[in-house]
Amino acid sequence: MDKLRISGGRPLEGEIAVSGAKNAALPIMCAALLTDKPLALSNVPRLMDIATMAKLLGQMGVDIEREGDRATLRAREIRDAVAPYELVKTMRASVLVLGPLLARCGRARVSLPGGCAIGQRPVDQHVKGLQAMGAAITVEHGYMHASAARLKGARVVMDMVTVTGTENLMMAATLAEGSTLLENAAREPEVVDLADCLVKMGAKIEGAGSDVIRIEGMRALGGAAHAVMPDRIETGTYLAATAAAGGRVRLTRAAPDSLDASLEKLREAGALVRKGAGFIDIEMTGRPRSVSVRTAPYPGFATDMQAQFMALATIAGGTALITETIFENRFMHALELQRLGADIAITGNTAIVRGVERLQGAGVMATDLRASAGLVIAGLVAEGQTVVERIYHLDRGYEALEKKLATLGARVERIK
Ligand code: EPU
């Protein structure tokens, strides 16, 4: 299994381009299930999760042609409306096929995702919404069996803000009879990107980006061409890395307005951050100041940036409170950061991080995608060598991580 060896202590300098957003590309690929016409995508990141989604869709009969960052998907006919456990357990976003399959084929069999490292992650809101739209859903042998002659528009008030739940229901509603109102909808930029793509396919959607989305169902959708939005979490990760390691970095092909909560926190930490047209500059000199964060749905501080900011706090001047409100078990990186010399105490859903002068390199284990990113940032500032194990987690969500870091002057090497 691959590992990442990082020799820390160098500032980051230079320019890199942001990749397409994993969490926008995944639902958008599923939107291809809604039409028999081709969906031509660009800025698709080259990631393990994208390959997993392509495999899942391929099994269902979707033709997929990939070249570089382009992918054309065409679901002429859906052979098999099934998402098997083997794929769903490795990638929870597989559940995003449920709404589109049901809307297009009137039936779907999708494995329950089960728990994962960061928490329980149930899908009750996806189910509840589809039931409100007239679907019959039963659970047998770990699979959701869903059927509906044609989904009917409905008013759905979600109990909590769920990103993939909103996406699943929005996609299903595009082919339902009548209009659907999604209330307490997720406002994440990825939801907006999906809505933009669906509108290009002929869907009628209003309010994406607000907490009420109205969808007017259509008989059929057509093909479209769409460029996936830039990855705001990848962007934030490199910015946090620069704030921690020091230096001067420009991130191009970015969506500068999609991560204001993180930018604000980086400024609080003492970084100079400047937004331009499609780029973000960051400059950091001296030791960062401690900044506390509390995760919240968009536009609040993203849970997917929590581990990276915890890493930053470990070497900052002062004490930071890091509070996780979205997932109940998303502090596993704290124990690994302690192996590098971090001073972290956890009470309930808050980590109290007292900044230390320096971290020391050590072997650490990645537990999930964003936790791994936090460990890499810590490795970049630690003295000596840090070896991050289980970097398949990183490969799921960061395109060419070690190449991009090397471009910025970091000493990072993948070892087999
Ligand atoms: N929830 C329920 N019931 C549901 C759905 C969600 O109780 O039916 C709860 C979850 O357990 C959680 C909260 O609601 O406590 C929010 O979860 P959400 O559904 O928003 O998460 P998700 O859609 O499964 C997406 C991202 C995650 C990101 C979260 C939160 C994708 C493919 N994944 O997950 O990204 O952390 O939103 O912003 O969009 C990552 O990229 O590393 C990642 C984990």
Kindly report the protein residue whose alpha carbon is nearest to atom 19 of ligand 1: 162
Q: Could you report the per-residue pLDDT of 176-214, keeping only the tens digit for each?
A: 999 999 999 999 999 999 999 999 999 999 999 999 999
Closest to 257 in 3D by CA, of 232, 281, 237: 232
Q: How far apart are CA 122 and CA 290, in angstroms?
A: 34
Contact 309, 266 (CB under 8 A): no
Structure tokens given for 341: 């010399």
CA geometry: angle 218, 197, 177, nearest 5 deg: 15
Its pTM stands at 0.98
* Active site (annotated) includes residue 116: yes
Contact predicate 4/187, CB 8 Å: no
- pLDDT tens-place string over residues 350-373: 999 999 999 999 999 999 999 999
CA of 121 to the centre of ligand 1 (A): 7
Q: Residues enclosing ligand 1, CB less than 6 A?
A: 23, 26, 92-93, 119-126, 160, 162-165, 303-304, 326-327, 369-370, 397
CA of 142 to the centre of ligand 1 (A): 20
Ligand 1 atom closest to 123 (CA): 8
Within 10 A of 352 (CB to CB), how many other CB atoms are there?
Answer: 15
The model's confidence at residue 403, banded by pLDDT at 50, 70 and 90, is very high
Separation between Cα atoms, residue 239 and residue 135, nearest integer Å? 44
Is the CB of residue 160 less than 8 Å from the CB of residue 122?
no
The H-or-E segment that residue 83 falls in is: strand 82-83
pLDDT tens digit sequence for 227-271: 999 999 999 999 999 999 999 999 999 999 999 999 999 999 999
Alpha carbon distance 188, 168 (integer Å): 14
Q: Are the beta carbons of 185 and 211 closer than 8 angstroms? A: yes
Residue 238: CB atoms within 10 A of its CB come to 25
Please report, in angstroms and rounded to a whole number, the separation of the first and last CA atoms in the chain.
6
Q: Strand, helix or coil at 301?
A: strand
Type of residue numbered 142: G
Q: At 321, which helix (H) or strand (E)? A: strand 319-323
